[in-house]
Structure 1
């Protein structure tokens, strides 16, 4: 498959999805995707468990990021079963870290942080790859280039984070400052480019009382910047510049992470320069240090091999498993509840 055709097609697909999300998801009805009864209350009602669009969209983003990482890694000739193992080990670190880090930084047990999960993944990824090389690699005679594998993971993360901003628009989290509290130049800049959330159960409403206000569309800006970075990284990787792709995606995403927090209004800890910003800069420095010890080797890349890896029945089941685990992790709302009642429609008897 032609590389340019693939990257352009990927960009168009992501663009359509993001455009739909930007217009639709801040509305009130796009927070809950379903609710199911858990226990019976008085007067024929049931206490419900809410399932959120945040969880569904996050699961989509997680899975898409994993798919992209697998395509690129398989294109570089890495064994499929090893890709699955590395991905599972990393998800075993990053998924719990998204809650643990948020609890430490924000002192809230029902909050998730992608920034904290990313930092945990960056720190542990080289060691996981080296562990796999030292064990299975020795037994089955293969070697995963650390820089190449990290480039695949970084590009996958960048795409996943871009699409994951749709989840934030749905839940009303990670929100920017209201224009009413910004200076005149900022208000003028975002007068016709802003986001308005509706619904009292969105985080922007119950945490800051800002439902219905025009706000800096930080989630939209982030999604676009990350999507472009992911596309550039993909092109660089498929052209054989894995190390450059790694640095490009990591620097763009983490520098923007630092900058964007100055335009956000949601709680990020007590510090003016938050722990998440410190983690972002530390992730860049750590990765550059890792690359000094594991320079980028020459790797032949074939996109056709990457797509062949997707059609393996085991890989399809693996992707489905990633989606289910991700949805169960982030889709069950712990900050909202519901009451459900059932009745018979007599006219249809």
Structure 2
């Protein structure tokens, strides 16, 4: 498959997925995916455990991100085992960091922050790669090129974060400010095009008191911007422009992360400049420093067919399914909503 055809197919699939999310997910019914009985309250009544669309959509985003990473690194000769070890190491560090950083910045124990997890990932990636290359690379017969891997990770993140914004829409988090009712630029851009969230259990309702209020669709802007950026950076990567691909993906994602805070209404920590804005800018400077240090690294030209072929194995498919399940159960089990279930017989059907 040629790179152009691959990117065209990806563009079509991403556009359809995002359209569906923007169209339906702000509605109330798209927050809880399933509820299962937990502790029994009394005769015929149970406490329910809610599993959310947030978790399902987040798991989808992680799955796509890891699959993209496998394809891109496979295209430059990194075997699937090496990529899987790198992905697992990153997830083991970044997934817990998403909750830890939110607890430190927002003082909340039951929430996640992608921004904090990404900042941790940007900082630790070159060290993790060097560690893998030294400890297990010689034994397993692989060496991961740092600049190519950095670029592939940045691209995978752009796709994962972009698609992950659908999870934010379903939960009503990361929400924008109300669309201004004046005649200014924001009104002209977003009046009639914003999100109107429904449901008292969505975060925009219970934390922002804006159920039924048209708000700036920050999540949608982020999703479109990041996925387009991911597609362009993928084209650069497949053209062997690793440093340019890394800088494009990192500059757009971290730059927009810092700027988009000015349009968000959810709590981002104390101060006029939030900790997440600082993390985004520091991460961006760190990325430029890494390119200056690693930009001269030479890696094999990308072979897309080899990358696509490398993931078509039962072991890797099971690995991807395992990642999906872990992320779904980690992020999808709601700790801020509850449910009460009752069961009964249809006596006329016995």
TM-score normalised by structure 2 residue count:
0.97
CA–CA distance in structure 2, aligned partners of residues 130 and 254 of structure 1: 24
Q: Aligned residue for 2:192?
A: 192
Q: Aligned residue for 1:347?
A: 348
Q: Aligned residue for 2:282?
A: 282
The farther-off stretch of 322-331 and 295-304 is 295-304
Q: Aligned residue for 2:121?
A: 121
Q: Aligned residue for 1:66?
A: 66
SS in 1 for 2:133: helix
CA contact 2:180–2:186 (8 Å) conserved in 1: no
SS in 1 for 2:348: helix
Q: Aligned residue for 1:44?
A: 44
* 1:255 positional shift: 0.4
Q: Aligned residue for 1:314?
A: 315
CA–CA distance in structure 1, aligned partners of residues 80 and 218 of structure 2: 37
CA contact 2:148–2:299 (8 Å) conserved in 1: no
Q: Aligned residue for 1:326?
A: 327
CA–CA distance in structure 1, aligned partners of residues 200 and 301 of structure 2: 53
CA contact 2:176–2:265 (8 Å) conserved in 1: yes
CA–CA distance in structure 1, aligned partners of residues 313 and 181 of structure 2: 53
User: Kindly tell me: are residues 94 and 347 of structure 1, through their superposed partners in 2, closer, same or farther at Cα, counting changes over 3 Å?
Assistant: same
Q: Aligned residue for 2:16?
A: 16
Q: Aligned residue for 1:268?
A: 268
CA contact 2:48–2:340 (8 Å) conserved in 1: yes
User: Kindly tell me: are residues 304 and 106 of structure 1, through their superposed partners in 2, closer, same or farther at Cα, counting changes over 3 Å?
Assistant: same
Deviation sequence 1:143-193 (CA, Å, 0-9, x none): 211110111111111000010010001000000001257773322321121
Q: Aligned residue for 2:28?
A: 28
SS in 1 for 2:207: helix
* 1:8 positional shift: 1.2
CA–CA distance in structure 2, aligned partners of residues 158 and 340 of structure 1: 39
CA–CA distance in structure 2, aligned partners of residues 318 and 216 of structure 1: 38
CA–CA distance in structure 2, aligned partners of residues 304 and 325 of structure 1: 29
1:1-349 correspondence to structure 2 within 5 Å: 1-180=1-180, 184-295=184-295, 296-349=297-350
CA–CA distance in structure 1, aligned partners of residues 335 and 142 of structure 2: 44
Count of matched residue pairs: 349
Considering only aligned residues, what root-mean-square deviation do their CA atoms show, in Å? 1.2
SS in 2 for 1:101: helix
TM-score normalised by structure 1 residue count:
0.98
Deviation sequence 1:193-235 (CA, Å, 0-9, x none): 1110000000000001101001100000100000100000110
The farther-off stretch of 187-196 and 96-105 is 187-196
* 1:43 positional shift: 4.4
CA–CA distance in structure 1, aligned partners of residues 37 and 250 of structure 2: 43
CA–CA distance in structure 1, aligned partners of residues 182 and 138 of structure 2: 58
CA contact 2:145–2:299 (8 Å) conserved in 1: no
Q: Which runs of 4+ in 1 moved over 4 A?
A: 180-183
CA–CA distance in structure 1, aligned partners of residues 184 and 285 of structure 2: 36
The farther-off stretch of 282-291 and 183-192 is 183-192
Structure 1 stretches lacking a partner, 5+ long: none
Deviation sequence 1:234-270 (CA, Å, 0-9, x none): 1000111111101100000010001100000000001
CA–CA distance in structure 1, aligned partners of residues 271 and 147 of structure 2: 33
CA–CA distance in structure 2, aligned partners of residues 182 and 245 of structure 1: 40
* 1:286 positional shift: 1.1
CA–CA distance in structure 2, aligned partners of residues 67 and 275 of structure 1: 30
* 1:112 positional shift: 0.4
SS in 2 for 1:179: coil
CA–CA distance in structure 2, aligned partners of residues 92 and 265 of structure 1: 30
CA–CA distance in structure 1, aligned partners of residues 30 and 139 of structure 2: 50
User: Kindly tell me: are residues 20 and 93 of structure 1, through their superposed partners in 2, closer, same or farther at Cα, counting changes over 3 Å?
Assistant: same
